[in-house]
Amino acid sequence: MIPDSTQLLHASVPAVRSYLLGLQQRICDAVADIDGIPFMDDAWEKAAGEPLQGNGITRILEQGQVFERAGCGFSHVRGRMLAAFPGTPRQVCWFGGGMDLTPYYGFEEDAVHFHASCKAALEPFGADLFPRFKRWCDEYFFLKHRQEQRGVGGIFFDDFGADNGDAAFALQRSVGDAFLGAYLPIVQRRASMPYGDRERQFQLFRRGRYVEFNLVWDRGTHFGLQSGGRTESILLSMPPLVRWSYQERPQPGTPEHDLVHHFLVRRDWV
């Protein structure tokens, strides 16, 4: 997100917008190729008089052969409310982004591949960034009320690059360009694996943790809802089906127990 008050950015905002729209297209094309179902496009524009002004496009695929729901949203908004939120500085150029993996059944090679891809995307910008952004991801995607990691982590950064907007934008592009290479090989390895009702019920149960994080802790969700954003787009990532169960705990020796105790912990994967 970029404040529109900075003269430094007048020439670069179109470039950032163009890159992000192109990345959205690339991601949606790749996912649609795997699933064989096209995304639905929902272009929108904020009405005059709303707290935020701007436009965007929400793209969603539902009930696919591989993806029960896949969404990729773009928004370009501006308004006085931006300055009222913590971490939203004035008269500067800053970027945020990242990627994280939230499996419901853990595989070592998937976690290693994902983290290695994140590390490779950051290495050209400094050896210190991957451990820093990995730690930031581990700390951010953490359900404090359950003392539990949401997934196996990845990288996360926010309010980044105030001193050098061009370098920060280059880093953001590197991370964005790395996403498909980090994620799609995992999809291709796992999409044809057999599963039954046990695995489906555990998936629905673990989705509850994702919902809890989104609604209780996620800064983007809070900002969008509190600033008068577009609710359908803000909640795009919410799973279509989910369940909760009172004090459900996986039995030792099961893959479900292995996920919680071996994968949902902070560790160095690469």
In order, the DSSP letters of 92-103 are ---EEEEEEE--
Residue 94 scores a pLDDT above 90: no
Alpha-carbon span 96 to 157, nearest angstrom: 5
- Going by pLDDT thresholds of 50, 70 and 90, the confidence category of residue 257 is very high
Structural domain contains residue 37: yes
**255 has pLDDT over 60:** yes
> What pLDDT shows up at residue 81?
55
**Mean pLDDT, the chain, as a whole number?**
90
Average the pLDDT over 60-67 and give the result: 94
Does residue 269 form part of some domain? no
- At 49, the pLDDT band (50, 70, 90 cuts) reads confident
Question: Is residue 270 in a domain?
Answer: no
Task: Convert the pLDDT of each residue in 112-122 to its tens digit.
Answer: 999 999 999 99
For position 168, which CATH number holds?
3.40.1500.10
Which one, of 43, 215, 46, 227, lies nearest residue 145 by Cα?
215
Residue 181 has pLDDT above 60, yes or no: yes
pLDDT in tens, 2-44: 333 333 444 488 999 999 999 999 999 999 999 999 999 999 9
Q: Token pair of 31, please?
A: 């996912």
Q: Residue 217: pLDDT band by 50, 70, 90 thresholds? A: very high
What is the Cα–Cα distance from 196 to 72, expressed in whole angstroms? Answer: 28
Show the domain range for 235.
7-263
Indicate whether 1 pLDDT > 60: no
Q: Is residue 47 part of a domain?
A: yes
Check whether 51 has a pLDDT greater than 90: no
CA-closest candidate to residue 180, choices 33, 13, 40: 33
How many domains is the chain built from? Answer: 1
The model's pTM is: 0.90
For residue 86, what pLDDT band results from cuts at 50, 70 and 90?
low
1 in a structural domain: no
| Mean local confidence (pLDDT), 123-147 | 97
Using pLDDT thresholds of 50, 70 and 90, give the confidence band for residue 162: low
Torsional class of 183: left (φ above 0), alpha (ψ -120 to 50), beta (otherwise): alpha
Report yes or no on 268 lying in a domain: no
Q: Which of 20, 29, 38 has the alpha carbon at shortest distance from 74?
A: 20
